Amino acid sequence: MTGPVAWFRSRPLRSRLALLTAFAVAVAVAAVSAACWFVTRVQLEAELDSSLRSTRLDTNGVQSLLALCRQGATPPPLAGSYTVQVILAGGSVCTSGEAAIPAGTGELAVARGQLDDVLRTVKDDDGREMRVYTYPQDGPVGIAVSVARPLSEIDNSMSTLRWVLLLVSGIGVVGAGAAGLWVARTGLEPVNRLTDAVEHVAATEDLTVRIPVEGEDEIARLSRSFNAMTAALASSRDRQAQLIADAGHELRTPLTSLRTNVELLARSEETGRAIPPDDRRALMASVKAQMTELAALIGDLQELARPDAVQPDHPLEVVPLHAILRTALDRARLRGPELTFDTDLAPWYVRAETPALERALVNVLDNAVKFSPPRGTVEVTLMRGELTVRDHGPGIAPDELPHVFDRFWRSPSARSLPGSGLGLSIVARTVQQAGGTVSLEPAEGGGTVARLRLPGAPTPPPEL
């Protein structure tokens, strides 16, 4: 890698800290300078506009200018940098100033009594930008007076301010960089004494090695933090290894289904035997659903691989639990076509993340489908925020119930079945994020009951 980023990364840490400090100060100073420059310009323009509005030419002055123009004489310029024009309704213009200012439709409209006044920026005949205020002359309709001043007055002041701001900003940035370098050198000096121990751990890659901790100063705190970090990394590495071993089982079913659908589509293209439009649409919809499921599953696997993945990536929203449950039931029926689903769903709205909630419901239903006997019945009830899913399978041993929501845990009797042991842990995480509870318990007469309780209401809140 080459370029500024590579150069920056190659600098010592203290130099990078100094550069970052200088950069941060430069950004702050630039923002303040830009705001100062902008506010000052707006204020100067407002003062200029106010000055133009307060400048009025009396009737005698207007008549004198008109008289000079009728005689073919050039009216003398007024004191200061003002330019004054008398505009007649017919379009005639009499100018007192260095150069005439083109009279536009706005000025003519004021002269004809169609507008009260006009304030705009134009260029005079010499190419200078002028701020022009036009108002109707007191008396008979048909005369308007334009009072103008050059914007160069503001530009000159702003140019001076610009150089002052640049000078002050430059001094501030250089000073901040020097101060940052001094602070970095002073603050990082004790870290050098810890470097040898850290490099030893890095060279051996043995995360079980711990750095001896002595004292209670900052270096001791850093050593304790490093020891805690290596312990967490060792635990994380073990979980990642387990995740890699188990993720293939969780991904196998949707990948196999996706591969089957794609092969059907490919075989149709190769043999020239067209698939009926309805079947083709169904296949494409199934492929899309399976790809979505795979993406969601991979996201869940990554989230579960992190130590404390308890917060959702997106804000929670109010969603209809009963509608999401129906969608999950449709997917469960595809995986257990020989099963009967006995459902009783009452409306219930909860605050949750829709994709995660649907994934959790699918996991609960898949668990019931997986352990149901052939041609069995799965009973699904949603009533007053309590969802129960009962199967009529072999059930769960009492000593296994405390472990059913542990990550990667699988019952010894179910290890021959597909799955990675992530499904119920995903359910528990999602339900906890929604503020609810989940439990598995033996059902009367055999089987298992999954019970989810989610806070909510039978009707959506008014903001929906």
Task: Show the domain range for 267.
Answer: 218-305
Looking at the fold, whether 352 and 420 belong to one and the same domain comes out as yes
Looking at the fold, whether 343 and 391 belong to one and the same domain comes out as yes
Amino acid at 35: A
Number of domains in the chain: 3
Looking at the fold, whether 286 and 360 belong to one and the same domain comes out as no
CB atoms within 10 A of CB 9: 9
Looking at the fold, whether 344 and 448 belong to one and the same domain comes out as yes
Residues of the chain with pLDDT below 50 are: 307-310, 312, 416, 464
Q: What secondary structure letter does DSSP report for 412?
A: G
Looking at the fold, whether 282 and 410 belong to one and the same domain comes out as no
Amino acid at 176: A
Looking at the fold, whether 322 and 444 belong to one and the same domain comes out as yes
- Domain CATH for 91: 3.30.450
Tokens of 224: 């304790």
Query: What is the number of residues in the chain?
Result: 464
Distance CA 422, CA 304 (A): 8
**Pseudo-torsion of CA 270, 273, 278, 280, nearest 10°?**
-10
Task: Identify which of 325, 316, 303 has the alpha carbon closest to the alpha carbon of residue 387.
Answer: 325
Give the pLDDT of residue 184: 73
Looking at the fold, whether 275 and 324 belong to one and the same domain comes out as no
Give the pLDDT of residue 381: 95
- Residue 277's contacts (CB-CB under 8 Å, 6 or more residues apart) are none
Residue 424's alpha-carbon distances to 188, 266, 300, 407, 410, in angstroms, are 47, 36, 12, 8, 10
Residues paired with residue 340 on neighbouring β-strands, in sequence order: 377
Looking at the fold, whether 361 and 443 belong to one and the same domain comes out as yes
Place of tokens 């000159």: 156
161 part of a folded domain: no
Give the pLDDT of residue 455: 93
Place of tokens 């050198």: 185
The phi and psi torsions of 318 (rounded to 5 degrees) equal -75, 125
- For residue 167, the Cα-to-chain-centroid distance in whole angstroms is 36
Give the pLDDT of residue 323: 94
Give the pLDDT of residue 367: 86
CB-facing half-sphere around the CA of 195: CA atoms within 13 A: 6
Tokens of 128: 């200078």
Give the pLDDT of residue 242: 65
Task: Identify which of 196, 184, 187 has the alpha carbon closest to the alpha carbon of residue 226.
Answer: 196
194 part of a folded domain: no
Tokens of 246: 């188990």
- Domain CATH for 353: 3.30.565.10
7 part of a folded domain: no
Distance CA 121, CA 149 (A): 10
Q: What secondary structure letter does DSSP report for 76?
A: P
Looking at the fold, whether 295 and 323 belong to one and the same domain comes out as no
Q: For residue range 441-462, list pLDDT tens digits in order.
A: 888 888 899 999 999 999 987 7
Distance CA 142, CA 247 (A): 87
Give the pLDDT of residue 379: 94
Distance CA 161, CA 41 (A): 10
Give the pLDDT of residue 187: 62
Q: What secondary structure letter does DSSP report for 86?
A: E
Tokens of 239: 């979980």
